[in-house]
Structure 1
Amino acid sequence: MQDKFKEFLLKKDVVISGRRYAIDALSAMAQGLFASLLIGTILSTIGKQAGVEILTQIANFAIASKGAAMAVAIGYALNAPALVMFSLCAVGYASDTLGGAGGPLAVYVVALAACEVGKIVSIKNSINIILTPVVTVVFGCVLAMWIAPFIGAVAMSVGKAVMVSTELYPVLMGAIVAAVIGMALTLPISSAAICAGFGLTGLAGGAALAGCCAQMVGFAVMSYKANGFGGFIAQSIGTSMLQMGNIAKKPIIWIPIIIVSAINGAIAAILGFQMNGAAIASGMGTCAFVGQMGVYTGWLADVANGTKVGISGFDWAVLLGISFIIPAFLAVAFGGIFKRYGLFNDEDLSLSRQKS
């Protein structure tokens, strides 16, 4: 009986897999969040600064669609049939709304469950056009009503605990948050989705951003001799995930960059570096400079609500230092020490080496 049930699930493409759920779905959710909330925030900032009202209106539409965008992205990652994927719009909206500030995590859990249930009931006959959407929407929305508020509350509590701890112990927590989120950025999981799920902003968000910047800029600088300018750009404004193949072959190449992340996070916390824009930006690092735009939009919001007097030269210096200068300097220093003692060499950091 158990074997037949497993065979049935496989026919429906319901594969219970840690990689599929924890990596593919989470990464896709981050893309959905990026294409709605983050893009909307950026457009809103441009619209308000340039006085272009239509951009502000478009931004509001994009931001309002974030729950649906995340859920559909998850459905896409799980190879959901068309009717299941489209039905996830309502499920995502319900989960995000009921999940409150912890919406992304609620959307992730509920959309995963609704997608798999929708795939199980999906059949190839004339009643499918009614059956699949009804089951997916009803199951997903009822589940959202039941658990989304709880998930949202837990996510908010965890995020708040991390942020309060960072305020109380800035050096220690700044280093820990930066190291952990920075490693998540380089691993094939989504640091952006993690930061969004727990709503990491303030000093903790700044530390997370510092850790991510350190991974991207650090690997780009440390591997420059091996990868040249193209590799530098690909890693510094693309993703440090490109080094995962090399890390798998020789894990020690990651150690100096993790150290750089921790130090950069501690420095960021000491300097009072905060990320008060959309929480997802905390986990983006220097990728297309989204993290830096998140900081800037946070500044503008703080100025507008009176919690910040204005944007100073010191603010810009800290942003540039934490995002680029300090990680680059530290990566050269620590990378040089490891290379000098023969722990790894430039060839171990070559991106083309992974293809062989």
Structure 2
Amino acid sequence: MTQESKLQEPTGIKKYFKEQNIEFSFNRIAIQGLGGMAHGLFASLLIGTIIKTIGGFIPGAVGAFLLEIATYTGAVQGAAMALAIGYSMGCAPYVLYSLATVGFAANALGGGGGPLAVYFISLVAIFFGKLVSKRTPVDLLVTPTVTILVGVLLAKFLAPTIGQVAVLLGDVIMWATEMQPFLMGILVSVIMGIVLTLPISSAAICAALGLVGLAGGAAVAGCCAQMVGFAVCTYRENKVGGLTSIGLGTSMLLVPNLLKKPVLWLPPTIAAAITGPIATCVFKLTMNGAPVSAGMGTCGLVGPIGVVTGWLTPGEAAITKGLTAITPGAMDWIGMVLICFVLPAILAFVISEFMRKMGWIKEGDYKLV
């Protein structure tokens, strides 16, 4: 090892943190942490909501069994979120396994803002768990004890406050959307759509704030506009493969292109600014299902499915806000299809073609790398 490389090697506390895989960075905390939280919610509460909706249409023992499954998925959502956060942040086994208790406690004590409480408390529990992980001969005892004690103590004293703050912020956004559906329809749609394309989890943010109702509908509009819009306006470069991977997968695939040329973001973002207020003012599109669905867009068709399941069997967050099941009419279905699929495709395509003719978008700018 050269003298220069020796000088570059971390020492002291920095060396210890590196050895313990402790990293204080935006990527680790915001991108990996929030992404993990969304995955945990998807694999528990969200999939349980879909199963519950299907079970409601099936009579007899099969339907009852599906409804029973849904109760279990809802019960473990806190543990699932914490475990997914820990996995995404590279936790050692005993830290990871201990997070199940931490997540369960934080979600239970956080009330309506449980997901946000799980996120913050899991981050702290992971830090302390990693500090002691594999540092003693009795790691089996020390690491789970430290992780669980720290996490549950924090959940006991902080989760209710974090939950109340999350609920309050979500309520303010939803109230503002009810009062000013046009303006807030634009803001929520555009902001959540942009967040969806960035390597930050829009689904986790919607879940943390409990965005349902009109605000949830605006979030659905913005997220669908980004995914469907990008899928259509990049078809010339990426063909069917890009259409499906972006439209049903994730628009994050285009982040390298957007960083090189931010103007490429305009077609789907303008589409979101148009479909958002149409969703809130014209069709009164609401997300009454699991709030996490509002931030998923057309990824696996979770956004539209969340709208439909919310109509039929409103989720806990929606019920708390006084939202009830509805029998969707023709206009509800037309509105959902237009907002989630048709309008974003048409608007983004027309805008992108205009920008191509003006020379603002060049051939190959949208090519997936």
Same fold (TM > 0.5):
yes
Q: Is the 8 A contact 2:289 2:314 kept in 1?
A: no
**Alignment match of 1:39 (pick from 32, 47, 53):** 47
Displacement of 1:346 after TM fit?
A: 3.5
Can you list the C-alpha shifts for 1:94-141, whole angstroms capped at 9, x where unaligned?
100111111111100000110110111123544111111111101100
* CA distance, structure 2, for counterparts of residue 86 and residue 78 of structure 1: 13
Cα RMSD (Å): 1.7
Which residue identity is paired with 2:56? K
Partner of residue 73, structure 1: 84
Partner of residue 20, structure 2: 12
Q: Is the 8 A contact 1:32 1:69 kept in 2?
A: yes
* CA distance, structure 2, for counterparts of residue 307 and residue 101 of structure 1: 17
Aligned 1:1-356 pairs, distance under 5 A:
3-51=11-59, 52-270=63-281, 271-301=283-313, 307=324, 310-351=327-368, 354=369
Q: Is the 8 A contact 1:223 1:346 kept in 2?
A: no
Structure 1 runs not aligned, ≥5 long: none
Which residue identity is paired with 1:331? A
Displacement of 1:5 after TM fit?
A: 1.8
Secondary structure (helix, strand or coil) at the match of 1:311 reads: coil
Which residue identity is paired with 2:297? G
Q: Which runs of 4 or more aligned residues in structure 1 lie more than 3 Å from their structure 2 counterparts after TM superposition?
A: 302-309
Which residue identity is paired with 2:362? N
Displacement of 1:53 after TM fit?
A: 0.9
Distance 1:302 1:61, change over 3 A: closer
Which residue identity is paired with 2:359? G
TM-score of the aligned structures, taking structure 2 as reference length: 0.92
Which segment drifts farther, 158-167 or 299-308?
299-308
Which residue identity is paired with 2:19? K
Can you list the C-alpha shifts for 1:2-61, whole angstroms capped at 9, x where unaligned?
951222222211111111000011101100110000011011111111231111111111
Which segment drifts farther, 25-34 or 51-60?
51-60
TM-score of the aligned structures, taking structure 1 as reference length: 0.95
Q: What's the % identity of the aligned pairs?
A: 46
* CA distance, structure 2, for counterparts of residue 310 and residue 56 of structure 1: 20
Q: Is the 8 A contact 1:22 1:189 kept in 2?
A: yes
* CA distance, structure 2, for counterparts of residue 190 and residue 225 of structure 1: 28
Q: How many residues align?
A: 351
Distance 1:346 1:60, change over 3 A: farther
Displacement of 1:222 after TM fit?
A: 0.5
Which residue identity is paired with 2:183? L
